[in-house]
Amino acid sequence: MGHLTAFPNFSAGQPGRYRCARQTVMRVGTDLVWIPDVQQSLRQFGDRYLRRLFSSRELADCRGEEQRQQASLAARIAAKEAVMKILQPDRHTALPWLTIEVIRTANGSPALALHGAARALAKASKIRQFSLSLSHEHDYATATVIATCQPTSHVNDDSSESPV
């Protein structure tokens, strides 16, 4: 009978024991924004709303036809919310919107730049890399963020511990 290749560090001969010498931890955050909410905020608060949530670079990246601009801004709000879900600040710590910035790489792909408190939380969580996907269609914008954390060493030889 063959061995289990999907889990190369799993020891089938020793129930309750497992080994993961270097396990990469992933965190995922996602958010969905209703674009009419962004449109309403723009009508109500105008430039004050834009300056509070977006960097000048983000606003420059979103320039264009009004409807497309609003969808792009909504997608960036979703990205910032998704990052906040990954960083998991305590409920007494508010992350300023401008500490999370959605930027464009040289080839036009979206990426993240963290500043200040957001950067400190990412460093404390040993996050090494973010991957970002943005999308918008009709009245909705969405973002998914995947964070890769520094591999950790973990060996569990006590079957009473949960391998979560």
The first and second tokens of residue 105, run together, are 């790489």
Report angle CA 144, 23, 86 to the nearest 5 degrees. Answer: 30
Q: According to the model, what pLDDT value does residue 143 have?
A: 98
Q: According to the model, what pLDDT value does residue 22 have?
A: 61
Q: According to the model, what pLDDT value does residue 95 have?
A: 93
Q: How far apart are the C-alpha atoms of 13 and 121, rounded to whole Å?
A: 40
Which residues are within 8 A (CB) of 82 and not within 5 positions of it... i.e. 6 or more apart? 29, 30, 31, 143, 144, 145
Mean pLDDT for 83-112 is 94
Q: According to the model, what pLDDT value does residue 1 have?
A: 43
Average pLDDT over the chain reads 84
Per DSSP bridges, beta strands 140-156 and 127-137 are: antiparallel
Report angle CA 134, 137, 141 to the nearest 5 degrees. Answer: 45
pLDDT in tens, 113-157: 999 999 999 999 999 999 999 999 999 999 999 999 987 654 444
Q: According to the model, what pLDDT value does residue 91 have?
A: 85
